[in-house]
Amino acid sequence: MPWWLKLVLLLMLGLPGLSGWPNTWFIQQLQATGLFTLELAHVIVWVVYAGCVWLVVLLSVGPHKLLAYLGAAFVLALTVAMLGAILRSLFPLLAAGLSREATSFKLIRIFINIIIFLPYSVLFINSFSAKKLIDRVAHLDGRYRTVGLHLALAFRVFQHTGEVVFNLFQIWIEEYPEKIIPRNSGGPGIRWYTPGKLLVWIWGCIHAWIFACIIHTFEPIPAMVAEVERIDRANHKHKEHKG
């Protein structure tokens, strides 16, 4: 499939995220039936849309990658929703007068947005070949070639970081099964100091995960830069010979 057709189709798929249309129209139609409240109509329409996006991701990258993307998306979405709910309970002032139902609906909307657009974003980034882009740009002349090589290199780094992040989620889940899978948990059970230990554990996980992210993201960058510089130098030499 030509790259421009892929781009058009992906932009059409992501249109509800950018403009709300046609989902807002469907929500209005459902509400007009009188059978659904705004909140229920919103959830129904966006969950159906989520299914459509996941189907496209499944057909594009296969079931294993879809499950990896969904795993990361649900972890992030649940973290956001749960933290938001905890914060609402601990600091009611942060709700600034919103009712509990309105706050809950906001958190549900955020949850649904994340589980839709995280897999969609990764699909978008990985749908285009950075290598083909670099090869095509290498044949341009002058300033366009230099700018194009910079953009192609940036795009390649984005793709690499996306791969690193999802692998790190999987590694983290495998290293800390006791918190995720109850049958693996041992120890004395819940004690008065358990919340403190949980916070320390959470901080340790985040710290380790962020540093692993930094190291794995920057590790292959010298090789990527060397490749692009080689292409740039090869093109310079070719131009000099022709001149």
Partner 1 sequence: MKERKWTFATTAIVAGLIALSAIATMVIRIPIPATTGYFNIGDVFVVLAGLWLGPLAGLLVGGIGPTIADAIGFPVFIPATMVTKGLEGFLVGLIASQAKGSSLQLRTIAAFVGGFTVVAGYFIFEAYIYPALGKSMPAFAITDIGAAIVEAFPNTVQGIIGAVGGLALWKALSGYDPGRK
The rounded distance, in Å, linking the Cα atoms of 68 and 166 is 7
Q: How far is the CB of 43 from partner 1 (least distance, A)?
A: 16
Q: Does 150 bind partner 1 (CB under 8 A)?
A: yes
The rounded distance, in Å, linking the Cα atoms of 53 and 56 is 5
Instruction: Return the residue of 130, 133, 134, 149 that touches partner 1, per CB under 8 A.
Output: 149
CA distances from 219 to 155, 214, 216 (A): 16, 8, 5
Segment holding 47, helix H or strand E: helix 38-61
Instruction: Return the residue of 10, 138, 165, 212 that touches partner 1, per CB under 8 A.
Output: 165
Instruction: Return the residue of 88, 129, 171, 176 that touches partner 1, per CB under 8 A.
Output: 88
Up-side HSE of residue 62: CA atoms within 13 Å toward CB?
2
Q: Does 94 bind partner 1 (CB under 8 A)?
A: yes
Distance from chain centroid for Cα 144: 30
Number of residues that bind partner 1 (CB under 8 A): 51
Instruction: Return the residue of 118, 123, 130, 133 that touches partner 1, per CB under 8 A.
Output: 118
Instruction: Return the residue of 63, 97, 188, 189 that touches partner 1, per CB under 8 A.
Output: 97
Q: How far is the CB of 217 from partner 1 (least distance, A)?
A: 5
139, 232 Cβ separation under 8 angstroms: no
DSSP reduced 3-state for 173: helix
Q: Does 127 bind partner 1 (CB under 8 A)?
A: no
Rounded to the nearest 10 degrees, what angle do helices 100-126 and 63-90 cross at? 150
CA distances from 54 to 59, 84, 117, 159 (A): 9, 26, 10, 20
Binding mask 15-54 for partner 1 (x = CB under 8 A): --xx-x----------------------------------
Instruction: Return the residue of 161, 171, 173, 208 that touches partner 1, per CB under 8 A.
Output: 161
Q: Which residues lie near partner 1 (CB under 8 A)?
A: 17-18, 20, 76-77, 79-81, 83-84, 87-88, 93-98, 103, 106-107, 110, 113-114, 117-118, 121, 149-150, 153-155, 157-158, 161-162, 165, 206, 209-210, 213-214, 217-218, 221-222, 224-225, 228-229, 232
